[in-house]
Amino acid sequence: MSKAPANAAAATYDRILDAATEVIAQRGYSGAGVQEIIERASSSKGSFYFHFPSKEKMVEALVGRMSDKLVETVQEAMEGQPTPLHRVAASIDTLVSTFARQRKVAQVLLLNIIGHGRETDRRFLPMRERFSQMIQEELDAAVSADQIPPQDTALVSQMWVGALHEVILRWLLTGQPSPLTNATPPLQGALMRSIGAEPASFTPAIAASARRRLS
């Protein structure tokens, strides 16, 4: 019952972003009112606009912070892996388990932030492009290393991002599979097969670093 916010002592700037995460996760981008956000942040209208020039810029800052942390987490998980395919498997593993632990981040990043006119969307596209590029680089390396046959790695990495996106989205909307991480093995299997790789044994132990919070 005691609703003392866990972030009471944080700087106003961060408290606003934290509050925005929750409100956007609950109500979507346009449903998230500045009023509710500042109430949840125990702040004020004036403070909000002291720290951010507009609601839209604030969301940009929020998405930037989220995706920076996510990319960092994923890259750390990839570092310890021996081959490109191991690395790409590790990245998928980390992505899924990170979202599984942080529903709200998934909600904001994957669901509640698109579909508001081309301008805004184009601005958030880069985040998904970042992941598909990370994947593509590893796939290219795998091709170079003869781990997999030559193929349209740009398209395939897009497909992977889409496949992951969809599976996580279903989980967000229906709760299935529960837990989300149950989907990881067959997901990895299908993805590996799609590029002509043996699905077996690329799934790595999840690195400790993946346990970190994103928001």
Residues forming the site for DNA (CB under 7 A): 11-13, 30-35, 43-51, 53-56
**Residue 49 or 129 having the CB closest to DNA:** 49
Q: Does 106 bind a second copy (CB under 8 A)?
A: no
Q: Does 179 bind a second copy (CB under 8 A)?
A: no
Contact pick of 55, 65, 116, 130 for a second copy (by CB under 8 A): 116
Between CA 121 and CA 176 the distance in angstroms is 27
Q: Which does 151 bind (CB under 5 to 8 A by kind): DNA, a second copy, none?
A: a second copy
CB of 79 to a second copy, least distance (A): 26
Record the tokens describing residue 203, joined without a space. 């799934």
User: Do 94 and 206 touch, CB atoms closer than 8 A?
Assistant: yes
Q: Does 23 bind a second copy (CB under 8 A)?
A: no
Between CA 25 and CA 92 the distance in angstroms is 23
**Residue 74 or 110 having the CB closest to a second copy:** 110
Of the candidates 62, 94, 121, 106, which has an alpha carbon nearest to the alpha carbon of residue 184?
A: 94
Residue ranges of E strands in the chain: none
Q: Does 115 bind a second copy (CB under 8 A)?
A: yes
User: Do 214 and 102 touch, CB atoms closer than 8 A?
Assistant: yes
